[in-house]
Amino acid sequence: MTEIRKQITRLRAELPEGVALCAVSKFHPVEALREAYDAGQRTFGESRVQELLEKIPQLPADISWHFIGHLQTNKVRQLIGRTAMIESVDSERLLALIDRESEKAGVITRVLMQLHVAAEETKFGFTPQELEDYFANRRFESLRATHICGVMGMATNTDDTDRISSDFRQIADTFRRIRTEIAPDLRGFDTISMGMSDDYPLAIAEGSTLVRIGSTIFGARQY
């Protein structure tokens, strides 16, 4: 068995029911993705538009592509219609643009709202308060071609597992408040994307429904 197949098989056995796996394949060649595909993996995560658009035609059409990187507004149009989900919506401006371009293209785009809870300044996203305000003010009602399916977030990059768990708890708590108190009429708001190679067990313990795992499956990235 190849290492990639071994890891996919191991993860599939290990992840609890209700937790989906996004195999993060950024910076890895299509041969590596094909190995994962042959092991049964169908959801892949990419973080750069150009790389994603180059990979799509080289791989089977039944792959669900998740975009997980910071999306520049000038790249939105190229991406619309190509993904199963854009996980990294980090501003209302980006969301409005995705909605406008999706409507123009005649497609519905599924997205996650990215939450910023980590200590690093460099991470993108809404603060929990900003996101709760967005839903409390029912600004999602103006969307015409975008379906908000949940939230995505990252924990602080640290060895402190208490801090990591509390970051994940904050993401999950924000999701639950929106879903049960702020906008209980929202439909299909059911995804909490959190957890990467180094921290996914902690994310699952806090309620993740979608883990994004790269280096554990594919090895170290060659930037």
Ligand X SMILES: *Cc1c(COP(=O)(O)O)cnc(C)c1O
Contact between 26 and 214 (Cβ < 8 Å): yes
> Measuring CA to CA, which residue among 85, 185, 102 is closest to residue 141?
185
Please state the closest distance from residue 120 (CB atom) to ligand X, in A: 13
Considering the complex, state which of residue 71 and residue 213 has its C-beta at the smaller distance from ligand X. Answer: 213
DSSP code, position 127: -
Q: Note whether 125 binds ligand X by CB under 6 A.
A: no
Residue nearest ligand X (C-beta atom):
214
Considering the complex, state which of residue 26 and residue 135 has its C-beta at the smaller distance from ligand X. Answer: 26
Distance of CA 216 to the CA centre of its chain: 17
Tokens of 44: 């892949």
Give the binding range for ligand X (CB under 6 A) out of 98-106, 121-129, 169-177, 213-221: 213-221
> Measuring CA to CA, which residue among 78, 65, 146, 69 is closest to residue 111?
146
Strand bridging mode 64-67 / 85-89 = parallel
Chain residues 8-47 in contact with ligand X, contact rule CB under 6 A: 24, 26, 47
Chosen residue from 28, 55, 66, 212 binding ligand X by CB under 6 A = 212
Q: Binding-site residue total for ligand X (CB under 6 A)?
A: 13
Q: Which residues bind ligand X (CB under 6 A)?
A: 24, 26, 47, 68-69, 196-198, 212-216
